[in-house]
Amino acid sequence: MSEIQRRSFLKETAAFAAGVTAALTATRRASAGDTSFMNNVPDPVIAGEELPTFKFALEKSAGKVVGNNTAKEATVRQLPISKGIAGVSMQLAPGGMREMHWHATAAEWAFVNRGRVRTTVLSPGGYRETNDFEPGDVWYFPRGHGHMLECLGDEPCHFVLMFDNGYFSEFGTFSITDWIGHTPSSLLAKNFHVPASTFDGFPKKEVYFAQGARPPAKAEAPLAGAVPGPRTHKYRLMADDPRINNKGGRLWVLDSKKFPISKTITGAILELEPGALRELHWHPTADEWQYVFDGQVSVTLFGAGGRYRTETMEKGDVGYVPQGYGHSLENTGDKSSRILIGFNSGIYEDIDLTEWMAANPADVLATNFGKPAALFEKFPHKDVFITEAPGK
């Protein structure tokens, strides 16, 4: 091998090694929930000639059941396309508790659908907060913040959780019973300054769902006293006026501009009347996760290169749209639909197709589509966002 050939070989080898290193780094970052770089690395799940399914029948899945408490999850294991966001549908019976725990690799955003819920949370710096939630309320717990969820009153409660990491599993959380149950009693005694016998009879494995008496109507103070932090974990989303409100439907959006603690997740409630359409659009900075509370919704997905897919979603189904992919949501049923939508970004951003067309002069559109400029004067001159059913 000549010196020139040797140098060329070494240069190519170094370039290949750098590429492999970048890909491995990207994979590690993806598994940690960081999707901001994903467009730089081909994703085999969505890089094929046809788009994969982006729908999962969450409420028809088995999940975890303990007594009358249930949890069902949608992660990349159930829906491989959903690498940026995971979700859980959880129901607690009266007196039921999702035990004290924390999430090492994901922040938690929740929307209360039915019933009432109490949460406690401990944040770094010793801040502790207890809140009671009703339907339409939202909570957000940053990664690593210790918390618990408890059903209030005599009726079951139901809420939907979103996590900013599609690889995160709700069934792999760090639970307090699991930790204490596997720690020697001598070490626990030293830690808590109590006799080792104190821990006789404590659970030896994770409880996950605890069942007890109905909580008091008014929350008692923490043992160490209440010390709320500078940012609350609670927001009353449905008490706000809708961001969009017309004959076709309504949209409520909650991002970090209104809810400062929610730095990694934006949540929204979209209501569509029969025949109404959330127009063709895309999100430049976030993936989109959808959970259908009511109705029948047709979701379209455009993935470039002539790839296009439509899925019909019904109550209890989950949908997922990768960052930057064009899509729409249409109510194809005979009653109003309500959809919870989540984004793995603390700031809400979208670009709508009517808005894009209206942002260009008629001569540009005429050249682009090979049609007379006068034709485009008939198109909307502003963003439509939600289109009502024809003839209404």
Is 98 annotated as catalytic? yes
Q: Exactly one of 73, 99, 103, 288 is catalytic; which is it?
A: 103
Q: Exactly one of 116, 118, 145, 147 is catalytic; which is it?
A: 147
Residue 51 neighbours by CB distance under 10 Å: 21
**Among 376, 89, 101, 111, which Cα is nearest to 262's?**
111
Q: Exactly one of 73, 108, 279, 288 is catalytic; which is it?
A: 108
Is 381 annotated as catalytic? no
Is 103 annotated as catalytic? yes
Q: Exactly one of 98, 118, 158, 233 is catalytic; which is it?
A: 98
Helices (H), the chain: 3-31, 176-181, 185-192, 353-358, 362-369
Residue 87 neighbours by CB distance under 10 Å: 28
Residue corresponding to tokens 């025949």? 275
Q: Quote the tokens at residue 124.
A: 């770094």
Residue 268 neighbours by CB distance under 10 Å: 21
* Residues 384 and 351 sit within 8 Å (Cβ to Cβ): no
List of long-range contacts for 244-247, beta carbons under 8 Å, 24+ apart = 244/385, 244/386, 246/386, 246/388, 247/273, 247/388, 247/392
Is 101 annotated as catalytic? yes
Contacts of 154 (CB under 8 A, 6+ apart): 94, 214
What distance in Å separates the CA atoms of residue 367 and residue 364, rounded to the nearest whole number? Answer: 5
Paired with 253 in beta bridges are 268
* Residues 278 and 313 sit within 8 Å (Cβ to Cβ): no
* Cα angle 137, 139, 144; round to 5: 170
Q: Exactly one of 73, 129, 150, 170 is catalytic; which is it?
A: 170
Q: Exactly one of 101, 128, 278, 281 is catalytic; which is it?
A: 101
Residue 292 neighbours by CB distance under 10 Å: 23
Residues annotated as catalytic are 98, 101, 103, 108, 147, 170
